[in-house]
Copies of this chain bind each other. A is one copy, B any other.
Amino acid sequence: MALIVQKYGGTSVGGIERIERVAEKVIASYHQGNQVVVVVSAMSGETNRLIDLAKAIDPRADARELDVLMSTGEQVTIALLSIALIKRGYKARSYTGSQVHIRTDSAYNKARIMDIDAARLKADLDSGVIVVVAGFQGADEHGNITTLGRGGSDTSAVALAAALKADECQIYTDVDGVYTTDPRVVPQARRLERITFEEMLEMASLGSKVLQIRSVEFAGKYNVPLRVLSSFEEGRGTLITYEEPNMEEAKIAGIAFNRDEAKLTILGVPDQPGVAYRILGPIGDANIEVDMIIQNVGADETTDFTFTVHRNDYDKAMEILKGVSRQLGAREVNGDKKIIKISLVGVGMRSHAGIASAMFKTLASEGINIKMISTSEIKISVVVDEKYLELGVRALHTAFGLDQPVAATA
């Protein structure tokens, strides 16, 4: 008998009929002999409805009270799903985050889970009860209601799976798995049977928004096998595990890209210790997150410094950088908002040389000029002009053997 945690997001429970369909899916898993814990989000639209009520009173509504308010969204769903399960003759029981002792810190609206007391759930599961838990929420040590922030239901599910030592944590979404890249850009994109946590983290952080990144980190940390599946279609989805692919398998798991980048450069900065901090310190103080950073020391004892930020932060970052430039006596400041980032991701890189040069060659053969390069152990990212997004991704997808096999024609 396996213990499965299933998580259904807002779209999957976005109405009475959909909740009934989720009940059927849960029961199907139960009939396969599994113990089942279901984690649900608020019905789609509900969280926004609640926030709108609060904002109508105060656009900067108190954080503690916002959590009291928003946590009702999932509470409605757990009750309705339990009612649907009980109607079908199954024992079911709902729990709020507070009831199931999902203890968090006190950072309202973006709390982090500290621990979970799984004893009560275990007892329920052992007596054949299907347990339905409100995602996205918990309570701090004083019993104050907290929420984990948007998308936190994934994290709730993974944390429960870890606490219960579940055999698998299944995340039901509106896509049927993790793809080699975005199928809207590359029609030949393939669903991956499996992917490692590290690869998934790189894919997620690069804009493949299948899962909340925090939930993947959590799953990796506690080694909870995570599976992404569709709520609406049958299928095995994609399993995210620690296991490394075989040597024979593809070196590259997938290609991620990010359209939200913007690049800023400060040229001719007199080179001295601490210059990176003097440039990036004020940017960080303004709560602007920096992604890629490149520094070149030139011949004339000055340095050129380039970094990327989210496109929405570009104007603010540029204003700060101009001030920094004057202080440091730099020669020039420039920037570019029309860039995108393409990344190859794969743990296979560790044992395969030449992937970077193969990537650069592919791009060069398409006439795509590379503006920045950044590498990590399992990822190579390049920044290119935004007009090359589709061309670059498709070329790399084919070059690295990720395209779906074409059916043989007679």
Contacts and interface: CB of A to CB of B under 8 A. Distances in A.
A122 to B, nearest CB: 15
A320 B78 CA distance: 42
A83 B58 contact: yes
B94 A65 contact: yes
Main secondary structure of the interface of A (DSSP, over half): helix
A16 B57 contact: yes
A78 B68 CA distance: 8
A380 B20 CA distance: 55
A72 B76 contact: yes
Contacts of A58: 83-84, 86-87
Contact of A75 (B68, B79, B83): B68
A212 B55 CA distance: 34
A250 to B, nearest CB: 45
B83 A61 contact: yes
A39 to B, nearest CB: 15
A61 B19 CA distance: 14
Contacts of A79: 54, 65-66, 68-69
A121 to B, nearest CB: 13
Given A20-B57, A87-B57, A94 B68 contact: yes
A69 B80 contact: yes
B69 A53 contact: no
Contacts of A66: 79, 83
A82 interface: yes
Contacts of A223: none
Nearest to A56: B16
A58 B87 CA distance: 6
A98 interface: yes
Contacts of A50: 76
Could you say which of A76, A79, A96, A99 has the most chain B C-beta atoms within 10 Å of its C-beta?
A: A79
Interface in A144-173: 144-145
Contacts of A92: 65
A84 B57 contact: yes
A191 interface: no
B143 A99 contact: yes
Interface string A132-145: 00000000000111
Could you say which of A20, A57, A78, A80 has the most chain B C-beta atoms within 10 Å of its C-beta?
A: A57
Interface in A56-109: 56-58, 61-62, 64-66, 68-69, 71-72, 75-76, 78-80, 82-84, 86-87, 92-94, 96, 98-99
A149 B246 CA distance: 61
Nearest to A99: B143
A279 B243 CA distance: 77
Given A16-B53, A58-B83, A93 B76 contact: no
A66 B76 CA distance: 9
A71 B78 CA distance: 13
A83 B98 contact: no
B75 A54 contact: no
B83 A65 contact: yes
A115 B245 CA distance: 60
B94 A80 contact: no
Contacts of A64: 93-94
A65 B82 contact: yes
Given A53-B80, A87-B57, A69 B75 contact: yes
Nearest to A43: B53
What 10 A-B pairs have minimum CB-CB distances, sorted nearest first? A69-B79, A72-B72, A58-B87, A68-B79, A65-B82, A62-B86, A65-B79, A61-B83, A16-B56, A65-B83
6 contacts: A57-B84, A58-B83, A58-B86, A61-B87, A68-B94, A75-B75
Given A19-B57, A62-B82, A68-B82, 4 more contacts: A53-B76, A57-B87, A65-B79, A65-B82
